[in-house]
Amino acid sequence: MTTDSADAPHSARVRPPAAAAVPATAAVHPPRGPARETLPPPRPGRGVRQRAVAPLLAADCLATVCTAPAVLGTGTAPMALGPMVLGLLLLHSRAGLYRPHPAPSLLGALPVLLGRAAVCWCAVAAVLAAVRPAQALPPALLVGAVALHTALVCGARALVHRARRAAARRRPRATLIVGAEPAARQLAGVLHARPGYGMRPVGVVVTGAPAGPEAPPEPAGPPRLTTPQDITRAVIRHTVRDAVFTVPPYGDPYTAALLRRFVDQGAAIWLAGAAAALEGRPPPPASGHLGGFAWRRLETAPPRHGGAGKRALDLVLAVVALVVAAPVLLGGALAVRLADGPGVLCRQERVGRGGRGFLLLTFRTRRPYDGDAATPPGDAADGLRTSRVGRLLRRTGVAGLPRWWNVLRGDLSLVGPCPEGPRTVERCTRSCPEYGARHRMAPGLTGLAQVHGLHGGSPVEDRARFDNLYIDSWSWGQDVRIMLRAVARLPRREGR
């Protein structure tokens, strides 16, 4: 299972969504080339949402705990309290009453809160009438219980919303707005004028607008971001926590790639205006609007990239492979040394996860061209030619065995996107908007694109599509299938 390292030309398309990030310290020695900015490591978004939901859960529980003894008495309330709390929380959750929103509306949620309280108390009354007929709730008491419960829930939630608005004014979250002007500018103005929403616009990522000299004059307000470098600098400088799309995020490859990047960074994704209206689902009861813009949160699944389990498997198999292949490695190194002189290993600069650089190790299979007429045409275009030992090592796959050391170090994984050089990455990032998203996962010895016959000379759009599909749908089963297919392709590859 080897990777291809050829730098091939690719067709130009549209501008990229994500900046290629910086090469950091490499595996053997630091790679050459200027340092570039890199995005910060991903933040887990689940904890932020739990902190947003917990106060509302506590408010609903407190209202139920206060209402039950007043209506049922101290003798019956303890037995009914547990099922009541659980049932009410489930009803509220199903109604979307715990979905986060910058400007929740109690009046908008009042009918839903009243209906859920009525369902809960009607169920309690029915159970009491069946189990303890003497303690059945009369209609007047039942109506009073529903009214009291709803009033307490609304009061507790009002306190939570007030505390949140105060905290949002003190510590607003940096926000990027993605969309076309002027709608994106109008939304930025709304967020700036209403600090209680807790969002501070730090940039407008303009879609469908020309960049450079052809760009229209920039209006007042947050800066216009039209290049990947602008977006990366804004994310790093302001620690962006929210991204608001005023256009459907899946409408074109550029916005889809932006969505992938923001989700991987742990940012909350919001849809506003036309983007929210095109989702097809009615807004949650408490969502309301944001300065006249329809508003909803886009529910995104947390990225699954294997984590510690995938890394542990890489370590185990890398150790086993290096131990088993030690005689072959020693023999290959000795053959290269005797046939082609000093310098057994070839160190190739490659771009890994998050845009960090590393040195990919292989056996040296080419040596300086000495003018030999027997050299195949075109083989000496760069002053090097493939030696006989090099051709043998390539044909048998031994040339790529040192890459297992990169797997052991963590530069590579068993399965992942193909590692490519900085110049290729820069060229492909300019030509394909989805290319930068493939650096969300460590590159691999083999991958979904490779087992489908896509290598360095294949169209960059095809390789980016397969690599992003693998990352978005990662699973252990998929890794096993890819490794089996890679092993099955080895005899055909070595027979060439």
Domains and CATH numbers, the chain: 46-167 (no CATH), 172-297 (3.40.50.720), 307-494 (no CATH)
CB atoms within 10 A of CB 313: 16
Query: Tokens 């590393």 appear where?
Result: 358
Q: Give the chain's largest Cα–Cα span.
A: 108
Task: Evaluate whether 437 touches 17 at the Cβ level (below 8 Å).
Answer: yes
Question: How far is the C-alpha of 209 from the C-alpha of 87, rounded, in Å?
Answer: 50
Q: Across residues 69-77, what is the average pLDDT?
A: 83
pLDDT in tens, 304-343: 667 788 999 999 999 999 999 999 999 999 988 888 888 8
Residue 204 burial class via C-beta count within 10 angstroms: exposed 0-12, middle 13-18, buried 19 and up: buried
What stretch of H or E contains 89? helix 46-94
- Which of 223, 246, 229 lies closest to 174, judged by CA? 223
Three-state DSSP class for residue 216: coil
Is the confidence at residue 113, as pLDDT, over 60? yes
Question: How far is the C-alpha of 44 from the C-alpha of 42, rounded, in Å?
Answer: 7
Q: What is the mean pLDDT of the chain?
A: 79
Task: Evaluate whether 357 touches 349 at the Cβ level (below 8 Å).
Answer: yes
Q: Across residues 231-244, what is the average pLDDT?
A: 87
The tokens describing 253, both together, are 């490859």
Is the confidence at residue 12, as pLDDT, over 60? no
Question: How far is the C-alpha of 83 from the C-alpha of 124, rounded, in Å?
Answer: 9
Q: What is the Cα gyration radius of the chain? A: 30
- DSSP sequence for 170-190: HSPEEEEEEE-TTHHHHHHHH
Q: Across residues 439-465, what is the average pLDDT?
A: 89
Reported as a pLDDT band with limits 50, 70 and 90, residue 359 is very high
Question: How far is the C-alpha of 145 from the C-alpha of 323, rounded, in Å?
Answer: 73
Task: Evaluate whether 438 touches 466 at the Cβ level (below 8 Å).
Answer: no
- pLDDT of 33 reads 39
CB atoms within 10 A of CB 16: 26
Query: DSSP character for 32?
Result: P
Reported as a pLDDT band with limits 50, 70 and 90, residue 121 is very high
Share in percent of the chain as helix, strand, coil (round to 5): 55, 10, 35
Task: Evaluate whether 427 touches 360 at the Cβ level (below 8 Å).
Answer: no
Question: How far is the C-alpha of 380 from the C-alpha of 366, rounded, in Å?
Answer: 10
Is the confidence at residue 214, as pLDDT, over 60? no
- pLDDT of 20 reads 37
Q: Across residues 182-188, what is the average pLDDT?
A: 89
Reported as a pLDDT band with limits 50, 70 and 90, residue 380 is very low
Task: Evaluate whether 160 touches 55 at the Cβ level (below 8 Å).
Answer: yes
Task: Evaluate whether 134 touches 56 at the Cβ level (below 8 Å).
Answer: no
- DSSP sequence for 272-325: ETHHHHTT-SPPPTTT-EETTEEEEEPP-PPP---HHHHHHHHHHHHHHHHHHT
The tokens describing 258, both together, are 């932006």
Reported as a pLDDT band with limits 50, 70 and 90, residue 302 is low
Task: Evaluate whether 288 touches 101 at the Cβ level (below 8 Å).
Answer: yes
Q: Across residues 23-36, what is the average pLDDT?
A: 37
pLDDT in tens, 248-289: 887 777 888 888 888 877 788 888 887 776 555 555 555 567
The tokens describing 5, both together, are 């390292």
